[in-house]
């Protein structure tokens, strides 16, 4: 990093020039750190001529060998990775057949310099959509050399919670929203430099050159996820221009968090290829009337999905309501900027639920209400939430054997 960029980063109050900050905080500098084209106005431009790289990527592996990209979650909630060569036959037994590995935790704020080794244990294997062939992505969780889960290893606790309630067969559908920026980190994709686009309205699920910005990225990510084996169930353009969503699930228990984390890694890699910055910040634009980004979490147990399950859904909602502030505290950083009661959100301070009401903390779909069984949607988690924490906590709270007060539904007319 050059000196000017360093000063700029320090002025912006961030640890690195490339750390994302809400636009209003860094927009006034008038300077950009890295100036990319406005991506032929929207779809991005490959970092290199793809034909050059393809020549090498097409070289087959020696028989019986694969490249395994070991991925882990760092202290900031971003996925990092490094690669090793492995005998293909080690993949046959699943993650437990793969060797543990380690990384330098002092470079990721996860270990002191004088005892820097962090141990990675493989937990889930996906096909590698970038290298193709039999190569794999390996999602790991993290431990000290003595075998204690790192504080950032939230998977460990969640896996214990799910193991304790396996018979419930919990399903999760996670709606991951994200926002694309040019590499100046201040201009969302498709927005004019130092200005604002026309107001929200036509962008949600919109088509056309002046409405949809970054569709190629959304589609590339979709394909890559399908190839990897992620149960991505759909995508859509969001209300704010340059913002998109994809859904993962329904997945059972810990698998939901595993798949969502790997889908985020794939998103980062796709955006790297398109030379576009992706942020999971819940309120990337604070000035003006722009939607934030969430990670709505749809949840059901087997009982909820069966006839009469609505009773269990209501009980779960009352229990979630009784622990509103604990859940809010764990649902993502910066969420207070998003949960304002405007832009299809409920106030952060007040728990609410309703049928088909997008202005509530928790929504029940019309079909669920009509059929008397189905699932609930927790609309509170922010786009940058830790899905292990969110899914594990919903399980834990809703399985508690406690008496909780009933909460009255707010069934207003459905918002947009
Ligand atoms: P919305 O109408 O809120 O935009 P989406 O269609 O974006 O909803 O996402 C709903 C998610 O919920 C999908 O991932 C879907 O697979 C998932 N889902 C569907 N049925 C269930 C269920 N019974 N339990 C948990 N998740 C479910
Ligand atoms: Mn959705
Ligand atoms: Mn959405
Ligand atoms: Mn939703």
CA dihedral (406, 412, 414, 416) in degrees, to 10, reads -120
Q: Positive or negative, the Cα torsion across 200, 202, 208, 212? A: positive
Distance 52 CA to ligand 4 centre (A): 41
Taking 50 as the pLDDT cut, the residues of the chain under it are 1-21, 23-44, 46, 414-416
CA pair distance 266, 260, nearest whole angstrom:
10
Is the separation of the CB atoms in 387 and 330 below 8 Å?
A: no
Query: CATH classification of 163-398 is 3.20.20.70, yes or no?
Result: no
The number of the ligand 1 atom at minimal distance from the alpha carbon of 248 is 14
Q: What is the DSSP letter of 96?
A: G
At 118, give phi and psi (nearest 5°). Answer: -110, 135
Closest residue CA from atom 12 of ligand 1: 173
Contact 272, 47 (CB under 8 A): yes
Which of 236, 239, 243, 250 to probe ligand 1 with, by most ligand atoms within 8 A of CB?
Answer: 250
Q: Could you tell me which residues come within 8 angstroms of residue 207 by beta carbon, excluding any fewer than 6 positions away? A: none
Q: How far is the centre of ligand 1, averaged over its atoms, from the C-alpha of 247 (Å)?
A: 7
Ligand minimally distant from the alpha carbon of residue 293: 3
- What's the pLDDT tens digit per position in 199-255? 999 999 999 999 999 999 999 999 999 999 999 999 999 999 999 999 999 999 999
Residue 260 CA to ligand 2 centre (angstroms): 15
Encoded tokens for 375: 């699932």
**Residue among 173, 297, 305 whose CB has most ligand 1 atoms within 8 A, to mutate:** 173
**Residue 245 C-alpha to ligand 3 middle, in angstroms?**
6
- Minimum CA distance residue for ligand 1 atom 11: 173
Ligand 1 atom at minimum distance from 236 CA: 7
Distance 171 CA to ligand 1 centre (A): 10
Say how many Å lie between the CA of residue 364 and the centre of ligand 4: 10
Whole-angstrom Cα distance, residue 226 to residue 263?
10
For domain 65-151, which architecture applies? Answer: Roll (3.10)
Angle at 281 between CA 278 and CA 282, to 5 degrees: 130
The first and second tokens of residue 77, run together, are 């909630």
Ligand 2 mean position, distance from CA 232 (Å): 12
Q: Where in the chain is the domain with CATH 3.10.20.70?
A: 65-151
- Identify residues whose C-beta is under 5 A from ligand 2, the ion: 175
Residue nearest to atom 8 of ligand 1 (CA): 175
Cα 165 to the center of its chain, rounded Å: 24
Q: Is 27 helix (H, G, I), strand (E, B) or coil?
A: helix
Q: What are the helix (H) ranges across 240-386?
A: 254-274, 302-305, 310-322, 324-330, 335-338, 366-371
Name the residue of 236, 257, 298, 313 to mutate for ligand 1: max ligand atoms within 8 A of Cβ.
298
Give the span between the Cα atoms of 415 and 279, in whole angstroms: 26
What's phi and psi for 415, nearest 5 deg? -75, 170
The alpha carbon of 295 and the centre of ligand 1 are apart by a number of angstroms equal to 11
Domain with CATH 3.30.590.10 in the chain: 163-398
Report residues whose beta carbon is within 6 angstroms of any ligand 1 atom: 171-173, 175, 233, 247, 249-250, 296, 298-300, 305, 374-375, 377
88 bridge partner residues: none
Task: Judge residue 193's burial from the number of C-beta atoms within 10 Å of its C-beta, 0-12 exposed, 13-18 middle, 19 or more buried.
Answer: exposed
Q: Residues near 231 by Cβ (< 8 Å), separated by ≥ 6? A: 248, 249, 250, 251, 259
For the entire predicted model, the pTM comes to 0.89
């Amino acid at each position: 990093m050059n000196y000017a960029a360093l000063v700029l980063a320090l002025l912006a109050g961030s640890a690195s020039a490339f750390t994302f900050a809400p636009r209003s905080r860094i927009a006034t500098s008038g300077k950009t750190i890295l100036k990319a084209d406005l991506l032929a106005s929207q779809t991005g431009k490959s970092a290199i001529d793809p034909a050059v790289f393809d020549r090498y990527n097409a070289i087959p592996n020696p028989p019986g060998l694969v490249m395994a990209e070991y991925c882990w979650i760092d202290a900031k909630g971003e996925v990092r990775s490094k690669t090793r060569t492995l005998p293909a036959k080690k993949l046959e037994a699943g993650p437990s057949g793969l060797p543990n590995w380690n990384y330098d935790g002092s470079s990721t704020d996860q270990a002191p310099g004088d005892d820097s080794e962090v141990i990675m244990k493989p937990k889930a294997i996906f096909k590698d959509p970038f290298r193709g062939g039999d190569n794999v992505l390996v999602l790991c969780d993290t431990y000290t050399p003595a075998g204690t889960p790192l504080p950032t290893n939230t998977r460990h606790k969640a896996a214990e919670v799910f193991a304790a309630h396996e018979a419930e067969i919990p399903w999760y559908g996670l709606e991951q929203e994200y926002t694309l920026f040019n590499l100046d980190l201040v201009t969302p994709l498709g927005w004019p430099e130092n200005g604002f686009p026309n107001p929200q309205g036509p962008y949600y699920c919109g088509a056309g050159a002046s409405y949809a910005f970054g569709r190629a990225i959304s589609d590339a990510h979709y394909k890559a996820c399908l190839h990897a084996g992620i149960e991505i169930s759909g995508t859509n353009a969001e209300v704010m221009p340059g913002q998109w969503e994809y859904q993962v699930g329904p997945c059972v228990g810990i698998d939901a968090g595993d798949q969502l984390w790997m889908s985020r890694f794939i998103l980062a890699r796709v955006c790297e290829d398109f030379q576009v910055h992706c942020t999971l910040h819940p309120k990337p634009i604070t000035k003006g009337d722009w939607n934030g980004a969430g990670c709505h979490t749809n949840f059901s147990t087997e009982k909820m999905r069966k006839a009469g399950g609505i009773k269990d859904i209501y009980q779960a909602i009352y229990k979630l309501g009784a622990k509103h502030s604990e859940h809010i505290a764990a649902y993502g950083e910066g969420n207070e900027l998003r949960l304002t009661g405007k832009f299809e959100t409920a106030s952060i301070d007040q728990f609410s639920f309703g049928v088909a009401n997008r202005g509530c903390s928790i929504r029940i779909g019309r079909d669920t209400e009509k059929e008397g069984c189905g699932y609930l949607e927790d609309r509170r988690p922010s786009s940058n939430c830790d899905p292990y924490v969110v899914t594990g906590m919903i399980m834990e709270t809703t399985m508690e054997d406690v008496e909780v007060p009933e909460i009255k539904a707010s069934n207003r007319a459905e918002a947009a």
